[in-house]
Amino acid sequence: MNSEIRKEIYQVAMNWVKEAGENIRNKMDSPYDVDTKSNPNDLVTTLDKETESFFVQKIKETYPNHSIIGEEGYGDRLTSMNGTIWIIDPIDGTMNFVHQKRNFAISIGIYHDGIGEIGIIYDVMANNFYHAIRNEGAFKNDKQLPLLNQDVDIREGIIGMNHFWLCDNRFVQKETMQQFVRKVRGTRTYGSAALEFAFLAEGIIDGYLSMRLSPWDIAAGIVIVNEVDGVTTDIDGNPLNMLKKNSILTCNSCLHKEIIDSIKKGRK
């Protein structure tokens, strides 16, 4: 994608994200519907749907040749990453949105022929924008984020992960995950994968892992983390397929092999 076009799309996307965030803040204290999706803890609200359909309408009007992958199903059904694709999570951290009214984000990754070109993660209540254009650095609001310190000892590392993976044997033996938790300095669960990527890019955590995330949870985060020299793969170290769910490890690249090795022995 040529850099002029990319800049223009980035600016347009930033403005839409600002507008969508303002709309969420204005409406979140009025009644809205909360439904469940794949299980009783998988929540979706009227505002998730309204926000995604706002983006889809804007994109279809402005860039009719672009495609969309969106969590709430207003986008397209795609079988390839060819062309320009917007990958949208209208509210990442819906459980936080409903229960806590904070710690949720709008996440948009824009990919061209499979390459992540633009990433925007907006922490709506903190009013923090994490954003990046490929090869142009990552930013928190107006401030460029420094490259990650490549000299972190895993015993001094803080890792983002959901406690759920300590109680679930399907992907990695629980005992292995428990040993991993004891090995690192601390773990954190923020309840928004997008924010965990943003916090890694900011350098306030050193890694984040999950056994199963969808493309919209990670698309923007990958672009932002790449710009601070972080690395994102599945938990076996393989490249990701952006059309499917993947296990995810995003981290400071100096910890990548060590985290994979720590988990490998309990891998199912």
How many residues would you count in the chain?
Answer: 268
For the CB of residue 123, give the shortest distance to ligand IPD in the complex, in Å: 13
Residues 9-68 that bind ligand IPD (CB under 6 A): none
Stretch that binds ligand IPD, among 53-61, 91-99, 115-123, 130-138 (CB under 6 A): 91-99
Angle at 119 between CA 150 and CA 257, to 5 degrees: 30
Residues 206-245 that bind Ca ion (CB under 5 A): 217
Q: Give the CB-nearest residue to ligand IPD.
A: 193
Indicate the residue among 192 and 252 with the shorter CB distance to Ca ion.
192
Strand-by-strand arrangement of the 158-161 sheet: 186-188, 158-161, 207-213, 246-252, 230-233
d(CA 133, CA 139): 9
For the CB of residue 211, give the shortest distance to ligand IPD in the complex, in Å: 9
d(CA 16, CA 59): 10
Stretch that binds ligand IPD, among 8-16, 21-29, 126-134, 187-195 (CB under 6 A): 187-195
Residue 73, phi then psi, degrees to nearest 5: 90, 10
Indicate the residue among 106 and 228 with the shorter CB distance to ligand IPD.
106
Helix, strand or coil for residue 179?
helix
Which residues would be at the binding site for ligand IPD (CB under 6 A)?
A: 71, 89, 92-95, 162, 191-193, 210, 213, 217
